Amino acid sequence: MRPMINKIRPTAGFARVLHIILLIFLPIAILLLIRLNFIQLAFSLVLLSKWRMVAVKPRFWPSNIRANAIDIIVGLSIVIFMMHSTLPYQILWVMLYVLWLIAIKPAGTLIMVSTQAFIGQLCGLMAIYLAWANGPLYGLTLTTGIVCYFAARHFFDGFDEPYAKLLSYTWGYFGASLAWLLSHWLIYYRLLSQPALLLSTLGYGLAVLYYLDHNNKLSKSIRRQFITVMVVVVVVVIIFSNWGAKVV
C-alpha cells in the first residue's frame, strides 16, 4: 500500500494554481542554479522539494522514501542532463521536467505507474553512466542495482504484487550483476550506455509481459514475439559491440 503522503493533492482553485506554479518554478530554479554553476545547490533543491517525506514520524520515512524514489531519481537525473547540455537542450530538459511533474508523476492509473517506473529507470541509468563513467566499479554496480530495485518496486506496487519485494530485489541484483560485468567494457551509443540499453530493453519487455499476464491478455504468440525481440536486441548489441577496449 502506498503511503498517504502521495495522495495529498491540492483540490481546486487558487491552491491548485499555486501548486502548478511552484512545480513550474522548480525546473526553472534548477536551470538558473546550473547556469550560475551552483551545482550542489541544484541537487539540494531536488531533495528539498521532497521535504514532505520526512514531515512525518520517523517510522514512516522508509516507506515514504521508497514511494518517492522514482521522482527523486528523475529529478537528480534532470540535473545531470542539464549539466552536460548546452542552453537550448537545457531548456528542453526544463520542459520535459515540467511535463513529468505536472502530467506524468501525479497519474495513478496502472499504465501510468508502469510508465513512471520505466522512465525512472531509464533516466537514472543514463545519468549514472553519463556522470560517473570513470567512477569506481563498485559505485557503478551499487547505484545501478539501487535504481533497478526502486524502479521494479514502483512498478510492482502498482499491481499490489504480493512478491513485490522479492521480485524487486531480484531485478536489482540482476541489474547490479550486469553492470559489474559490462562496466569492464563500458560502451556508449551516443548518450546511452550499453548497461542502460540492455537493462531498459529487458526491463521494458518483462514489464509488458507481466502487465499483459496480469490482465489476462498474454497469449503464447505474444509471449513468443516479445521474447524473440528481447533476444534479438541483446544478441545484436553483443555481436556489434567493440569489445576490444573500454569506450568512454
- E strands along the chain, which residues? 188-189, 192-193
The pLDDT assigned to 236 comes to 78
Q: For residue 237, what are the CA distances in angstroms to 187, 196, 232? A: 10, 12, 9
- Residue 199, CA atoms < 13 Å, CB-side half-sphere: 37
Query: For the segment 196-226, what is each residue's pLDDT rounded down to a tens digit?
Result: 989 998 999 999 899 888 888 888 888 888 8
Contacts of 223 (CB under 8 A, 6+ apart): 209
Going by C-alpha positions, the residue among 123, 49, 119, 127 that lies closest to residue 83 is 127
Nearest residue to 149 (alpha-carbon basis) of 126, 127, 177, 130: 177
Q: How much is the pTM? A: 0.87
**pLDDT tens for each residue of 23-45:** 999 999 999 999 999 999 999 99
CB atoms within 10 A of CB 130: 18
pLDDT per residue as tens digits for the range 50-88: 988 888 888 888 999 999 999 999 999 999 999 999 999
The number of CA neighbours under 13 Å toward the Cβ of 42 is 23
Residue 192, SS3? Answer: strand
Question: Nearest CA to 151 among 198, 108, 117, 115?
Answer: 117
